[in-house]
Structure formats: structure tokens, C-alpha cells
A and B are shown apart, each in its own frame.
Chain A
């Protein structure tokens, strides 16, 4: 049981380049999330998908797009990367009950030069 799997683990981009971060979960969870974690700050929600077919903005959605491809997969796309998007990105998933905890992937470390 792999849980939440993120790819790639590391990525270096030049300003203006685009890329997609992939996330897949094998726990049959309804909800999936994308966060960014910056030094000295708490994780901040970029986008989430409460169920298959729906997506909603979080706290810091500007510069990102998401796709809930199916129940298992939730991708995050940077159309034109900026140095301010240098961060560690975490994907998470959660089951149907509100109290259920979120399970996190190992993260993608992204540097934009």
C-alpha cells in the first residue's frame, strides 16, 4: 500500500517554463489537496478537490492550475514558473469523514531559477 505518491521528487525550472506535478493515492479517498511549504511558514493550501470532478481554490491559488483526472489522481500545473514558486509541494488525501486525517505524500522540491 503506497499511500500518496508524488512525482517528481525534485525539479529545477527556468523562469517561464511550465511543468505538471503528479499525485496519486491508492486509499480510495474522496478528497485531495495541494499545499506549498516555505521556510518558516506553515503549509498553505493551493487547491483542493473535495470529490472527483470538483476543484476549489485554497489560500494561494494564483499561478497554478489543477486537474482531478480521476478519483486516484490530482495534478498541479505551473503554466509559467516564477522564482516565487520555489517551494516544497505536498499532495494530500483524505477520506469522507471530516474528522479523518489527511495523508501526505513525500513532497516535490521545486526550484525556479
Chain B
């Protein structure tokens, strides 16, 4: 069964600090991996998307890495802001783009 596991489940950091969220997946066939940000009470919003040939992709203070050999991805947040408080969801897509496997998310809280 396709699975996406994320760690940690929750994380509290101080404003201005960096953090790294982890994602391990067992999804086949693999097309691409996405990181979404979901604010409380809102739908997920895409942060990055990477195919198996891409190792790193950045979006402002967010940098995602992908190791297709070990089937691991990470999302690094630099100089955190209070607005980064949200759930971050790792999602792996099949070739057609219809069947996505979602991780359970990491709930990040940034405190002043």
C-alpha cells in the first residue's frame, strides 16, 4: 500500500529560528513530490513540486530536498515567521496526477 510518513507530528519553534520537516514515502509509481501548507480552517496551498530528477527546489524561505533513492524528502524553513504557523503536508503523485498519497502532516507552531 502506498504510504507517506511525516515527522515530527508537531513542532514548536521560536520566531526567527530554522526548522526541518521530514517525509518518507513508499509510493509506486512515483511521478512527483509536493509540499503543501495548510493554514487552520483553510485548504492546502502548494509550496513546491519536484520530480524524481530534481534534488532541491526553493520557494522564498522554503527549501525542499528530494532523495529518490532513499525515498526521502525534507522541507527546510529559514528564519521562521509567525505566519509560518500551519500544517505542512507532504504529497506524492502517481504518473497520471490523479492519485495523490498524502502524509498526515507536521503541525508547526512559531512562537514570538
Residues of A within 8 A of B (CB): 4, 31, 33, 40-45, 48, 50, 56, 58, 90, 92, 94, 97-107
Let me know if B12 is at the binding interface, CB within 8 A. Answer: no
Q: Is the CB of A106 within 8 A of B43?
A: yes
Q: Is the CB of A101 within 8 A of B89?
A: no
A100 to B4 Cα, complex, angstroms: 20
User: B28 contacts which chain A residues (CB < 8 A)?
Assistant: none
Number of A-B contacts (CB under 8 A): 57
Within 8 A of A (CB), among B68-112: 89, 93, 95-105
Let me know if B34 is at the binding interface, CB within 8 A. Answer: yes
- How many chain B residues touch A (CB < 8 A): the figure is 25
User: A56 contacts which chain B residues (CB < 8 A)?
Assistant: 98
Let me know if B32 is at the binding interface, CB within 8 A. Answer: yes
Let me know if B49 is at the binding interface, CB within 8 A. Answer: yes
